[in-house]
Amino acid sequence: MVKGNQAPQSIVKSGLIRNKLMLSVWWDWKGIIHYELLPPGKSINSNLYCQQLLRFKQEVENKRLALINRKGVTFHHDNARAHSSLATQQILS
């Protein structure tokens, strides 16, 4: 507990894993449609994201075929470089 003007003390927890993993998840109101866990140390770039989108499309065709022919489907993603690249935009259009 910090009192007054004292600086908080750092507590180091030994044994914590420093490697971070990235999990990409696509879902709709019914639940998860597709997910991919990237290997340790790997990050998403435009090429990998485009590959993921194509695999996601296959999963939608297998699990949610009604979404393929539906107008007005919303696909929301952030503005990371991999998500806003020309190659990604071409796949999404």
Percentage of the chain beyond pLDDT 90 is: 9
pLDDT, averaged across the chain: 78
Q: Which residues contact 25 (CB under 8 A, 6 or more apart)?
A: 32, 34, 35
Higher pLDDT, 1 or 38: 38
Question: What is the average per-residue pLDDT within 61-87?
Answer: 71
Amino acid at 15: G
pLDDT tens for residues 29-43?
A: 888 999 999 888 788
pLDDT exceeds 90 at position 87: no
Sorted by where each begins, the domain ranges of the chain are 23-92
Biggest CA–CA distance in the chain, Å, is 62
Neighbour count for residue 91 (Cβ, 10 Å): 16
Q: What is the pTM of this model?
A: 0.65
